[in-house]
Chain A
């Protein structure tokens, strides 16, 4: 960004939308063919019923439910992270909020869809509205997910408005669409004030909603009496797991965007480093929670609970289980603990490991428990069928395709926020830093240029602790972040 004017930034970002290369079409074709296969699989399932899956009694839930939890988890990547970063005023967030928020919207759609795919009578899904029982955790999920989806859409849309206005002004084929969507935004101070206030309100609102979503997802399991599910730790465990997998998803998305759209100039190594640090924190939390769960279950030695636990630790599911623990939890922790691991490559490797592990984690929550219900039952084996794999692959591909499509029609980097950062963050940040320091002599000029909303400030100081919590690494990261920002700031000032 050094030496770049606002229009220059805009042009470079808009250029990423206007130039779909051959790669785009090849990727789109590949993804769409997988989607078509997934649709075919689903059509088969609709016609023949769920007998086309590998499920049975007592394996009443399988891959679809794992997908549901997984996608909902991924959805926490965006909005939640973006909102937290916004609230704490982490300036480095600016180029990555958009691509995070988009993940949320699409992942939520596929999460909700996974449940409908799992239904025996998808044609009756509206019974949930007509005959809904508020006592059922599924209904809590319906409420939370729909609120979260609505909130996320608004939260994606609001910061998109100024960018839509920029696109509208650039004229082009889609200008009418952009005009319609930009709601007549012209960037007047009043409009801007309203927009910023709306964004800050949404940012704060979305955090508890997001937390509630994954909590109630965990309640689906935790409120039953099934061994291994009926646990008080499930709510926070699922939330942490969601942020964990969501961050991993975000890092992968960022790496791909940066590479394919040549956005290295705006998504810098420092972003990966910083997100890597947050991810490291989550790694530590996941390890801590996992340790907690299994230690308590094993020392409790309740026979019903022990059966699925032992199946995971040393039985039929030992390979995926230990693969998940070692490859998906411990290995990423080690990678991310070292600054050399928090490079783009390091982050992507860790993230891929984490994503696979987190899918397995959900699978291993559902399958071994259902395989060993409380009543003694014949040992069975659950092997997902091509229909289940097909639909899963279809969902993932459709997700990727929609994401690609979004990046094709909307700026994946928030242009106006980058402008704003370039222009305003230096005084803002230096002011903020100064406010932390002991007052040596009165420096009225160093006061924050523009006070942030009061609630936000309050939350900011709390969240700052959260984000930076846990490790020395975090502290180090913070000082590095400051150095980095200052360097950039200096550069900008020179400009």
Chain B
């Protein structure tokens, strides 16, 4: 934590040199840079998704895949459910015609406070950062897929083949996010590279990181046309996520499992006279 503030310029220079290719591996370091000025108050990143606002457009899905260098699955692999969506859109359909109800649920990793995935990893390739981000160390993962199996939300993804892009589409690769290899597990990181960038920007401007800096920070939240996704510090009672999380519509998926997800959903509502 201190190492970072001790020589910020050095670190920044290092990052610039590496051009971010090693970004994922330096997750821990990124979070260490976290608190910068206001040390002591620990952050707990969380996300609130308002299902009433969400229209199921899946802009978040495309944004996430573009931001995080998730390769396209292709037809065959997609049909076998091997395409990777760190942010997925799930449909829950109930009833029979004409009494139908379909809900659209954007599903990122829930970043549980008590994550079942971390407990089972044999090599410590997945861990929870000080600020509550459940992350994956791609270079350590052995691909046993125990975490994917243990996740009660099925929100972890496996690289069944070497991620590949047509030569030209490689140009769209984001230099801030490492490209994964075949045979490792990957998952949503709450766009930690953006959090890191926001922190560095705030530090460069010599000011604390504010809620406004992060509220629409992750790629999914930034793109959402309906502003249904909010991001921020759940430990800060004034942040938008904390305010929304106090809503009576708030729910967490499968709370009964004791995983304490940090992705909070606001229930869909219908018009009442």
Also in contact, A60 and B149, with CB within 8 A (given A376-B90, A377-B154): yes
In the assembled complex, B121 has its CB within 8 A of some CB on chain A: yes
Who on chain B is nearest to A125 by CB? B142
7 residue pairs bridging A and B, Cβ less than 8 Å apart: A57-B157, A122-B142, A138-B146, A224-B120, A374-B257, A375-B152, A375-B254
* A residues less than 8 Å from B146 (CB atoms): 136-138, 220
**What residues of chain A lie closer than 8 Å to B145, measured between beta carbons?**
60-61, 118, 120
Determine whether the beta carbon of A119 is less than 8 Å from that of B143.
yes
CB atoms of A135 and B119 under 8 A apart: yes
Residue from B90, B120, B143 within 8 A of A121 (CB atoms):
B143
Tell me how many residues of A have a C-beta within 8 Å of chain B: 45
1/0 contact string of A111-122 vs chain B (CB within 8 Å): 000010011111
Q: Interface readout for B232-273 with A: 1 if CB under 8 Å, 0 if not?
A: 000000000000000000000110010000000000000000
**Residue of B81, B107, B140 with most chain A CB atoms under a 10 A cut-off:** B81
Q: Are B82 and A133 in contact, CB atoms less than 8 angstroms apart?
A: no
Check if B122 is an interface residue, CB within 8 A of chain A.
yes
- Interface membership of A373, Cβ < 8 A: yes
Q: Is A57 in contact with B154, judged by CB distance below 8 angstroms? A: yes
Q: How many whole Å from B100's CB to the nearest CB in chain A?
A: 15
Interface centre among A48, A49, A137, A373 (most CB of B within 10 A): A49
CB of B184 within 8 Å of the partner chain:
yes
Q: How many residues of B contact A (CB 8 A)?
A: 42
Are A120 and B143 interface neighbours, CB within 8 A? yes
Asked if A226 and B141 sit within 8 Å, CB to CB, the answer is no
Q: Please state if B122 and A128 are interface contacts (CB–CB under 8 Å).
A: yes
A387 → chain B closest CB, angstroms: 12
Cα distance, A373 to B120, chains bound together (Å): 17
Contact yes or no, B160 A49, CB < 8 A:
yes
Q: Contacts A137-B120, A376-B90: A55 and B160 contacting too (C-beta < 8 A)?
A: yes
Binary contact track B105-126/A, C-beta < 8 Å → 1, others 0: 0010000000010011111110
A226 with B149: CB separation less than 8 A: yes
Contacting residues, chain B, for A119 (C-beta < 8 A): 142-144, 183
Cβ distance A18 to chain B, nearest Cβ, rounded Å: 45
Given A61-B145, A137-B146, 5 additional A-B pairs, CB 8 A: A124-B141, A139-B122, A224-B116, A374-B152, A380-B81
| Any B CB within 8 A of the CB of A315 | no
Instruction: Give A134's nearest chain B residue, CB to CB.
Output: B122
B227 within 8 A of A: no
Kindly provide the distance from the CB of B113 to the nearest chain A CB, expressed in whole angstroms: 15
What residues of chain A lie closer than 8 Å to B120, measured between beta carbons? 136-138, 223-224
| B142 touching A124, Cβ below 8 Å | yes
A141 — nearest CB in chain B belongs to which residue? B122
Which residues in A have their C-beta under 8 angstroms from that of B81?
A: 56-59, 378, 380
Q: Does A299 contact B (CB under 8 A)?
A: no
How would residues 126 to 165 of chain B score, 1 for a CB under 8 Å from any chain A CB and 0 otherwise? 0000000000000011111110111011100111111000
The answer to whether A375 and B90 touch (CB under 8 A), given A49-B182, A120-B159, A136-B121, is yes
Interface residues of A in 373-428 (CB under 8 A from B): 373-378, 380
Q: Is the CB of B150 within 8 A of A224?
A: yes
User: Hey, which chain A residues are within 8 Å of B159, CB to CB?
Assistant: 49, 120
* B80 at the A interface (CB under 8 A): yes
Residues on the B chain within 8 Å of A370, using CB: 149
Residues of A within 8 A of B257 (CB): 225, 374
> In whole angstroms, what is the CA distance A121 to B185 when docked?
10
A51 at the interface (CB under 8 A from B): yes
Are B153's CB and A374's CB within 8 A?
A: yes
Closest to A140 in B: B122
Residues of chain A contacted by B142 (CB below 8 angstroms): 119-122, 124-125, 127-128
Residues of B within 8 A of A131 (CB): 123-125, 140
Partner pick for B148 among A49, A60, A139, CB 8 A cutoff:
A60
